[in-house]
Structure 1
Amino acid sequence: MFTLNKMMSRPICNTISAAGYNPDYNSSDYSSDYSSDYSIYSNTCSNITRRFGSQLLALLVMYYTLSVSHHSQAAPVLNLPEQEKSSLRNIRYEIFDDRAYEVLNTSAPLHTLASGFQWAEGPVWSSAGQYLLFSDIPAGKVFQFHPDQGLNEYLPVSGFSNGLVINTSDSEAEQLILLQSRSRQVAVMQAPLDKPKANYQRVVSQFNGMRLNSPNDGVLSQDGSLLFTDPPYGLAQQLNDPEKELAFQGVYRLSKQHELSLIDDSLRYPNGIALAASVPSSDNTYTLYVAASNPQKPAWYQYTLNTDWQVIQRQVFHQLPPVKDEGRGLPDGLKVLPSGDVLATGPDGLWLFAHSGKLLAKVHLPSIAANLAFNDDYSTVFVTAHQHLYSLDLVKQPQ
Structure 2
Amino acid sequence: METRVEIINHKRFRPYVIGTAQMEKLYTGMRWGEGPVWFADLEMLLFSDIPNDRILRWAEGAGVSVFRAPSNHANGNTRDRAGRLLTCESGARRVTRTEADGSITVIAESYHGKRLNSPNDIVVSADGTVWFTDPDYGILSDYTGDKAESDIGVCNVFRVDPQCGQLSVATGDLVKPNGLAFSPDERILYIADSGASHIEGGPHHIVAFDVNEAGTLSNRRVHAEISPGIPDGFRVDMDGNIWTSAQDGVHCIAPDGELIGKILLPEHVANLTFGGRKRNRLFITAASSLYSLFVGTKGALRP
Q: Same fold (TM over 0.5)?
A: yes
1:203-256, CA deviations, whole angstroms, 9 ceiling, x for partnerless residues?
111112211110000111111111111010100359xx6531112101111111
Contact 2:280-2:299 at 8 Å conserved across structures: no
The 1-side partners of 2:269 and 2:111 are apart by 30
Give the conservation status (yes or no) of the 8 Å contact 1:112–1:390.
yes
Partner residue of 2:97 out of 173, 184, 188: 188
| Alignment partners' CA distance in 1, 2:262 and 2:15 | 14
Cα distance in 1, alignment partners of residues 19 and 138 from structure 2: 36
Question: What SS does the aligned partner of 1:186 have?
Answer: strand
Tell whether 2:225 aligns with 1:319.
yes
Give the Cα separation in 1 of the matches to 2:19 and 2:137. 34
Which runs of 4 or more aligned residues in structure 1 lie more than 3 Å from their structure 2 counterparts after TM superposition?
Answer: 396-399
Cα 1:308/1:211, change in 2 over 3 Å: same
Distance 1:104 1:191, change over 3 A: same
Query: Residue 262 of structure 1 aligns to a residue in which SS?
Result: strand
Question: Aligned-pair distance for 1:398?
Answer: 9.7
Gaps of 5+ in 1: 1-87, 281-285, 324-328
CA contact (8 A) 1:219 1:228 kept: yes
State the AA in 2 paired with 1:248: V
Q: Indicate conservation of the 8 Å contact 2:35/2:48, yes or no.
A: yes
Higher relative contact order (CA 8 A, sep 6+): 2
Pair 1:252 & 2:158 matched: yes
Distance apart, 1:150 and its partner CA: 1.7
Alignment of 1:48-67 (within 5 A): none
Q: In the TM superposition, what is the alpha-carbon distance from 1:158 to its structure 2 partner?
A: 1.3
Aligned partner (choices 29, 39, 43) of residue 130 of structure 1 = 43
Cα distance in 1 between the residues matched to 2:257 and 2:232: 16
The C-alpha deviation readout for 1:265-310, integer Å capped at 9, x for no partner, is 1211110100113x65xxxxx2101111122221010110112111
SS in 1 for 2:152: coil
Task: Provide the rounded CA distance (Å) in 2 between the counterparts of 1:267 and 1:398.
Answer: 26
Partner of 2:84: 175
Does the CA contact (< 8 Å) of 1:378 and 1:394 recur in 2? no
Pairing 1:104–2:17 present: yes
Which residue of 307, 310, 313 maps to 2:213?
307
Change (3 A) 1:117 1:253: same
- What is the aligned length? 289
Task: Tell me the alpha carbon deviations over residues 47-106 of structure 1, each in whole angstroms, 9 at most, x when there is no partner.
Answer: xxxxxxxxxxxxxxxxxxxxxxxxxxxxxxxxxxxxxxxxx2163424234210222225
Match of 2:286 in 1: 385
Distance 1:102 1:274 in 2: 23
TM-score (ref. length: structure 2): 0.89
Contact 2:54–2:74 under 8 Å retained in 1: yes
TM-score, scaled relative to structure 1: 0.69
- Is 1:267 the counterpart of 2:180? The answer is no
119, 125, 149: which one aligns with 1:221: 125
**1:206 matched residue in structure 2:** 110
Q: Please tell me whether the aligned partners of residues 96 and 107 of structure 2 are also in contact (alpha carbons under 8 angstroms).
A: yes
Q: Judging changes above 3 Å, is the alpha-carbon distance between structure 1 residues 397 and 266 closer, same or farther for their aligned structure 2 residues?
A: closer
Contact 1:337 1:378 in 2 (8 A): no
User: Could you say what secondary structure the match of 2:150 adopts?
Assistant: coil
Q: What is residue 155 of structure 1 aligned with on the other side?
A: 68
How far, CA to CA, are the matches of 2:141 and 2:70 in structure 1? 24
Code of the aligned partner of 2:36:
P
Distance 2:48 2:135 in 1: 17
User: C-alpha distance in 2, partners of 1:305/1:252?
Assistant: 14
Q: Distance in 2 between matches of 1:92 and 1:287?
A: 28
Task: Give the number of the structure whose residues are more often helix, by fraction.
Answer: 1
Higher strand fraction: Structure 1 or Structure 2? 2
Kept in 2: contact 1:373–1:383 (CA 8 A)? yes
Native 8 Å contact 1:91 1:366 kept in 2: no
Once residues 95 and 299 of structure 2 are traced to their aligned partners in structure 1, the CA distance between those partners, rounded to angstroms, is 34
What secondary structure sits across from 2:13 in the alignment? helix
Pairing partner for 2:79 from 146, 161, 166: 166
- Percent identical among aligned pairs is 30
- Match of residue 355, structure 1, among 234, 238, 255: 255
Q: Deviations over 1:163-219 (max 9, x none)?
A: 11112x24xxx2111110111000112344xxxx4x422111111221111000011
Q: 1:263 to 1:366 in 2, by over 3 A?
A: same
Shift of 1:393: 1.4
Task: Output the CA distance in 1 between the equivalents of 2:95 and 2:223.
Answer: 27
In 2, distance between residues paired with 1:341 and 1:127? Answer: 22
Q: Distance in 1 between matches of 2:273 and 2:190?
A: 15
Checking the alignment, whether the CA contact within 8 Å between 1:377 and 1:396 is kept in structure 2 is: no
